[in-house]
A = this chain, B = another copy of it.
Amino acid sequence: MQKAFVALLGFIPITIVALVLGSSPTVLFFLSALAIVPLARFIGRATEELSARSGPALSGLLNASFGNATELLIGFFAIRQGLVEVVKASLTGSIIGNLLLVLGTATFAGGWSYKTQQFNLSAAHANASTLLLAVIAMTIPPIFYQTIPSMLGATIESLSLLVSALMIVTYLASLWFAFRTHPHLYSEELEHYEAKWTLNKMDLTLQISIGSATQIAMFVAPVLVLTSIIFPNPMSLVFSTFELAAIILSVLIVNQVVADGESNWFEGLQLMMAYGIMAVAFFLHT
């Protein structure tokens, strides 16, 4: 099994050669997809090893950051191409995908092996209120826009920029909180349950999924708003009613599910169903 993964690494030079030889985009896509498999597995294993040494907070942050750096870069170039609405839909999809699909599937799967999975309530609580602040920051500009449709574009842009700046400051403050002033909140229960391997895994899943959603909402999206002002068609913080409703409802049900510090297969199923409902609507919507 291990060897098969290593063998797939051979597709990295093959992809480069194919690129040089001028292969079609479809061929390049499938070659790159095969080359990514072992890399994704290595990141996953590195995250787990890191978690065993430094706790789920840091490894969750690093794992989320690896993935979201790509999202940030692709978003930046897509906005330059004028694909503003596509980027907003993609950010929304990442937020609800992490909150509902990733967390839901992990909780559901873990629930078959363990009747009840416990996790670090303090850390989940801090993330949950940051997510709620993200909801506030993303709700205010659209309501502003909808109540005064005759509003000048410049005013909406000023509001987007100011709110985005506040979001980035808050996100950086949340890192300061997690790693400087209150790291014990994220590790104290780690020592307590040291023996239970799966517990640590549940905490790691929570940090990766909720942490990644928080990072996209509170850092990636506002950075794209701020940096895209150099383009003729910048991205504002005004998401569509549909996208906003999906984000608000996802945050509410995740907050409800993590509120008691325990999870089971049925809570995982609920998150997956919420994702299913939204996915069906998104699919019919477009």
Contacts and interface: CB of A to CB of B under 8 A. Distances in A.
Interface of A: 115, 121-122, 125-126, 128-130, 132-133, 135-137, 139-141, 143-144, 146-148, 155, 158-159, 162-163, 166-167, 169-170, 173-174, 177, 181-182, 240-242, 245-246, 249, 252-253, 255-257, 259-260, 264-267, 269-270, 273-274, 276-278, 280-281, 284-285
A173 to B, nearest CB: 6
State the 9 A-B residue pairs at the shortest beta-carbon distance, nearest first.
A177-B266, A136-B249, A129-B256, A162-B280, A140-B281, A143-B245, A170-B273, A133-B270, A132-B253
A269 to B, nearest CB: 6
26 contacts: A129-B256, A132-B252, A132-B253, A133-B274, A136-B274, A136-B278, A137-B277, A139-B249, A140-B245, A140-B281, A141-B281, A143-B241, A144-B242, A144-B284, A147-B240, A147-B285, A158-B284, A162-B280, A163-B280, A166-B276, A166-B277, A166-B280, A167-B273, A173-B269, A177-B266, A181-B265
Contact of A144 (B125, B181, B281): B281
A40 to B, nearest CB: 29
Nearest to A241: B147
Is chain A's binding surface mostly helix, strand, loop or mixed? helix
The count of identical subunits is 3
Contacts of A274: 133, 136
A277 B146 contact: no
A143 B173 CA distance: 34
Contacts of A146: 241
